[in-house]
Amino acid sequence: MTTSNGAPLERSSGARAGSDFPLVFETSQPGRRAWSLPEAGDSSPALEDVIPAAHRRRDPPALPEVSERDLVRHYTRLSQRNWAIDVGAYPLGSCTMKYNPKISEEAASLPGFSGLHPLSDESLTPGALELLGVLEEALCEATGMSKLTFQPAAGATGELTGLLIMRAFHRSHGEERKRVIIPDSAHGTNPASVSLAGFQAHEVRSDERGLVDLNALRDALDADVAGLMLTNPNTLGLFERDIEKIAEAMHEVGGLLYYDGANFNSIVGVVRPGDMGFDIVHLNLHKTFATPHGGGGPGSGPLAVSERLARFLPAPVLGWDEGAERWFWDEDRPDSIGRIHSFHGNFGINVRAYCYLRSLGPQGLRRVAERAVLNANYLRVLVRESFPTVYEGTCMHEFVATAKPLRKHGVRGMDVAKRLIDLGYHPPTVYFPLVVEEALMVEPTETESRETIDGLAAALNQIAEEAATDPDLLHAAPVTTPVARPDEARAARDLKVRWTP
Amino acid sequence: MPSEVPNDRRYTKEHEWAQERDGRIVVGITHFAQDQLGDVVFVGLPEAGTEVQAGQPMGEVESTKSVSDVYSPVNGTIIERNAEVESNPELINNDPYGSGWLVSIDGDVAALEGLMSAQEYATATEQEQP
For residue B67, the chain A residues in CB contact (below 8 A) are 188
Ordered by start, the domain boundaries in chain A are 103-359
> What integer pLDDT is reported at residue B3 of this predicted model?
64
For residue B89, the chain A residues in CB contact (below 8 A) are 493
The answer to whether the CB atoms of A431 and B65 lie below 8 A apart is yes
Could you tell me if residue B130 is inside a domain? no
> What integer pLDDT is reported at residue A66 of this predicted model?
96
CB atoms within 10 A of CB A322: 7
Mutate to test the interface with A, among B35, B36, B39 (most CBs of A within 10 A): B39
Mutate to test the interface with A, among B41, B43, B66, B85 (most CBs of A within 10 A): B41
Concatenated DSSP letters of A255-317:
-EEEEEETTGGGTTTT--HHHHT-SEEEE-HHHHT----SSSS-----EEE-GGGGGGSPSPE
The answer to whether the CB atoms of B41 and A404 lie below 8 A apart is no
> Residue A471: exposed, middle, or buried by beta-carbon count in 10 A (0-12, 13-18, 19+)?
middle
Distance CA B84, CA B87 (A): 5
Q: Minimal CA–CA distance to A402: which of A448, A452, A472, A460?
A: A460
> What integer pLDDT is reported at residue A13 of this predicted model?
37
* Tens-binned pLDDT, residue by residue, of chain A (501 aa): 333 333 333 333 333 444 578 889 999 999 999 888 888 777 888 888 899 989 999 998 888 999 999 999 999 998 888 888 999 999 999 999 999 999 999 999 999 999 999 899 999 999 999 999 999 999 999 999 999 999 999 999 999 999 999 999 999 999 999 999 999 888 889 999 999 999 999 999 999 999 999 999 999 999 999 999 999 999 999 999 999 999 999 999 999 999 999 999 999 999 999 999 999 999 999 999 999 987 656 899 999 999 999 999 999 999 999 999 999 999 999 999 999 999 988 999 999 999 999 999 999 999 999 999 999 999 999 999 999 999 988 999 999 999 999 999 999 999 999 999 999 999 999 988 878 889 999 999 999 999 999 999 999 999 999 999 999 999 999 999 988 898 888 888 888 888 777
Q: Minimal CA–CA distance to A198: which of A181, A183, A178, A220?
A: A178
Please say whether the beta carbons of A178 and A199 come within 8 A: yes
For residue A489, the chain B residues in CB contact (below 8 A) are 38-41, 63-64, 90
The residue in chain B having the minimum alpha-carbon distance to the alpha carbon of residue A433 is: B66
Residue B35, domain CATH: 2.40.50.100
The residue in chain B having the minimum alpha-carbon distance to the alpha carbon of residue A495 is: B41
Beta strands (DSSP E) in chain B are 10-11, 16-21, 24-29, 40-44, 51-52, 57-63, 67-71, 76-81, 103-107
Mutate to test the interface with B, among A387, A493, A495 (most CBs of B within 10 A): A493
Handedness of CA A274, A276, A282, A285 (dihedral sign): negative
Q: Minimal CA–CA distance to A148: which of A372, A353, A364, A358?
A: A353
Could you tell me if residue B11 is inside a domain? yes
A45 upstream amide cis, omega within 30 of 0 = no
For residue A188, the chain B residues in CB contact (below 8 A) are 67
Q: Which residues of chain B have pLDDT under 50?
A: 1-2, 130
Minimal C-alpha gap between B64 and chain A (Å): 6
Instruction: Tell me the CA distances in angstroms from B53 to A179, A436, A437, B61, B111, one per residue in order.
Output: 21, 28, 28, 18, 12
> What integer pLDDT is reported at residue A19 of this predicted model?
58
CA A338 from chain center: how many Å? 24
* Residues in a beta bridge with A182: A203
For residue B130, the chain A residues in CB contact (below 8 A) are 404-405, 407-408
Please say whether the beta carbons of A298 and A346 come within 8 A: yes
Minimal C-alpha gap between A218 and chain B (Å): 21
Q: Minimal CA–CA distance to A189: which of A219, A213, A161, A222?
A: A161
Please say whether the beta carbons of A476 and A467 come within 8 A: no
Minimal C-alpha gap between A410 and chain B (Å): 9
Could you tell me if residue B22 is inside a domain? yes
Please say whether the beta carbons of B115 and B73 come within 8 A: yes
Please say whether the beta carbons of A282 and A230 come within 8 A: no
Minimal C-alpha gap between A404 and chain B (Å): 6
CB atoms within 10 A of CB A241: 12
> What integer pLDDT is reported at residue A182 of this predicted model?
96
3-state SS assignment for residue A206: strand
pTM > 0.90: yes or no: no
CATH 3.40.640.10 fits A103-359, yes or no: yes
> Domain total for chain B?
1
For residue B90, the chain A residues in CB contact (below 8 A) are 489, 493
Helix (H) or strand (E) holding A492: helix A488-493
User: Which residues 6+ apart lie within 8 Å of A38 measured at CB?
Assistant: none
Could you tell me if residue B72 is inside a domain? yes
> What integer pLDDT is reported at residue A453 of this predicted model?
98
CA A82 from chain center: how many Å? 18
Could you tell me if residue B96 is inside a domain? yes
Q: How far apart are the first and last CA of chain B?
A: 9
Q: Minimal CA–CA distance to B59: which of B35, B43, B75?
A: B43
CB atoms within 10 A of CB A74: 18
* Residues in a beta bridge with A2: A8
Which amino acid does the sequence have at A71?
L
CB crowding B48-67: b at 16 or more within 10 Å, else e: eebebebeeebbebbbbbee
Distance CA A20, CA A482 (A): 7
Size of interface A-B (CB pairs under 8 A): 28
Could you tell me if residue B20 is inside a domain? yes
Domain extent, residue B115, equals 2-124
For residue B64, the chain A residues in CB contact (below 8 A) are 488-489, 492
Please say whether the beta carbons of A255 and A125 come within 8 A: no
Q: Which of A407, A431, A492 sits opposite B66 (nearest CB)?
A: A431
Please say whether the beta carbons of A299 and A153 come within 8 A: yes
User: Which residues 6+ apart lie within 8 Å of A390 measured at CB?
Assistant: A210, A236, A400, A402, A436
Using left for φ > 0, alpha for ψ between -120 and 50, and beta otherwise, residue A368 falls in alpha
Could you tell me if residue B129 is inside a domain? no
Please say whether the beta carbons of A224 and A179 come within 8 A: yes
For residue A437, the chain B residues in CB contact (below 8 A) are 36
